[in-house]
Structure 1
């Protein structure tokens, strides 16, 4: 018996990184998973692996910055399975720059994917969750959504938006039996972090290896976080164990948010 037996879960940005780990853990707990990603070929690869334990899982291409694409995603899922239990809004991007050099394109890129994407996917999924009388929405925010973060002001702003949107949505939909929460990771070992270490090194005049070591020093548990560390909290929030948890921004940082 898994914690998510029989559930239908949609995870955006699920072709790699944190999203892939969330999808894998969901399937391991008995859920059928829709691997939603802009990179549909990579999503198909993940879905093929998930079908070893969750045979009805599938991949769907989605552009979370497009209302039409988000609506099409949830129409496809509902037509295929007849219900939607878990909405995992995980798709995200980042760039790094000093505010004086930050371009509008960088600002818009981060806000459109990280914040607008959560809004559009939530809006597309809610009619189905309301009609069936319940469900879970879980958004990926960030430790940067709770504190100032040099070189990431635009990214931080997008993640603060996710937290505010999560709490507000939770209040609106609680009467329908829907919980809405977000997860705030710290320094997570992903391909995104690999790029950020290089960018930060260039902007600060540091070797990327020294930036990586600094991340470890800033984490009281003295290791870099893994996508699995995040995914396990996603499982908890999607399960019956979190029936009475809503509007929360759960820190999963190894204590880095306390430093």
Structure 2
């Protein structure tokens, strides 16, 4: 546990999956957690669940690819809580296809939502992270930012940009009291990932086969779970990692090192 009483943690993509687990984890330490999501219903549901459990939370709708929407999110958070201490820039989207099958629209969508969204979130929140005196910015990258994988050219490029942006922000702001790190998850079983496999599957048996094919690539022979990613984001977003910045931490069941 880390004492986050009186602090504000902003989590984008908090409506489901990894983002929701991140919000839950920070709430346990007494922080006011901002559940930001493009879907206002899921943002409200996430914040409502925390409030019902006696935690401090609020919901904000945001489109991280839209500069005005991001600015409005930050303004709303600061108006209500007065500060932003930690940002978990988690929101993103998967876009599949190699360079021959991707359209320009597909490419732009992957880069705009993932990479530009991370940039806009970081830029808008940075003044408040600087004001906090010990701000922490944690991006959600991916193992594909560190090693190629078939069929995800645009997504890989976008997550690679996030990894590079993480290191650059760390270099630019380390002496100003703001740390920037990233997690690089492998395959995590979330409602979104399941829906993507379900869309490809011919039937239930084929769905199970597709999921099994993913697990077979991992030395630990299982999917990652959202709370496992959230635990590392929490570590990077609190004083427990006070002498770490510019790091990209794989959370991947051994995929990159042992395959």
TM range (shorter): over 0.9
Query: Are 2:251 and 1:252 equivalent residues in the alignment?
Result: yes
Q: Aligned pairs, how many?
A: 256
Contact 2:183 / 2:233 at 8 angstroms: preserved in 1?
yes
Judge conservation of contact 1:96–1:200 (CA < 8 Å) in 2. no
Aligned pairs for 1:103-118 (under 5 A) are 103-118=103-118
Contact 2:37 2:43 in 1 (8 A): yes
- TM-score, normalised to structure 1's length? 0.93
Q: Is the 8 A contact 1:4 1:238 kept in 2?
A: no
List structure 1 segments (4+ residues) > 6 angstroms apart after TM superposition. none
Distance 2:104 2:199 in 1: 18
* C-alpha deviation, 1:117, in angstroms: 0.3
Question: C-alpha root-mean-square deviation of aligned residues, in Å?
Answer: 1.7
Distance 1:29 1:133, change over 3 A: closer
In the TM superposition, what whole-angstrom CA distance separates every residue of 1:217-259 from its partner, at most 9, and x where no partner exists?
A: 1111121111011000011111211000100000111111222
Query: What secondary structure does 1:100 align onto?
Result: coil
- Alignment correspondent of 2:138: 138
Please list every run of 5 or more consecutive structure 2 residues that lacks an aligned counterpart in the other structure: none
Corresponding residue number in structure 2 for 1:96 = 96
Partner of 2:75: 75
Q: For residues 94-148 of structure 1, what are the alpha-carbon distances to aligned partners after superposition, in whole Å with 9 as ceiling and x for unaligned?
A: 1222321111111111111110000001000011122333300000000111111
How high is the TM-score relative to the length of structure 2?
0.93
> C-alpha distance in 2, partners of 1:155/1:200?
18
Q: Decide whether aligned partners of structure 1 residues 200 and 244 sit closer, same or farther in structure 2, where only a CA change above 3 A counts.
A: farther
Maintained 8 Å contact 1:185/1:253:
yes
Query: Partners of 1:179 and 1:200 in 2: how far apart?
Result: 40
**Partner residue in 2 for 1:183:** 183
Q: Is the 8 A contact 1:94 1:192 kept in 2?
A: no
Counterpart-to-counterpart distance in 1, 2:24 and 2:10: 12
Is contact 2:30-2:55 (8 Å) kept?
A: no
